[in-house]
Each structure stands twice: as structure tokens, then as C-alpha cells.
Amino acid sequence: MEKQTLTVPNITCGHCVMSIKNELSELEGITKVDGEPENKSITVEWESPITLDKIKDTLKEINYPAE
């Protein structure tokens, strides 16, 4: 299992975090998503077949691109 914390400047509130959680949770391999609106960050845990690149691509698609 892999884990990464990503900075997402577009996060402004808890609703943003929930939107990200809902979208990422639909991807096969995502095991956990947590977010901190105050830090503008999300922490994602995953396993194969998902990759960090696919996670970042999905965030970009839903208008929450990671830095």
C-alpha cells in the first residue's frame, strides 16, 4: 500500500474535501482519503491498480489539481 499527502490549492472548505473524497473513492485501488481544508491538503492511501499519476489526473479532471 502507498500513501501520499498532496497540496491542492483549490480546497477552500469541508465540502471541497468531500467532493474529492467522493470522486477518488470511486477509483479501484483507493483505500482511504482524508483532507485538511486549513492546510489545503489531502492524504490518499492506495494499492494497485491505481497509480499516483492517475490520482493526480483525476484531481485535475474535477478541478482540484494537485501541486
Give the pLDDT score at 32: 98
What pLDDT score was predicted for residue 14?
96
Domains annotated on the chain, with CATH: 2-61 (3.30.70.100)
pLDDT per residue, tens digit, the chain (67 aa), is 999 999 999 999 999 999 999 999 999 999 999 999 999 999 999 999 999 999 999 999 999 999 9
CB 11 within 8 A of CB 37: yes
What pLDDT is attached to residue 36? 96
Separation CA 64–CA 26 (nearest Å): 16
**Contact indicator for 50, 27 with CB cutoff of 8 Å:** yes
pLDDT at 18: 97
Measure the CA–CA gap between 28 and 12, rounded to whole angstroms: 27
Which amino acid is it at 7? T
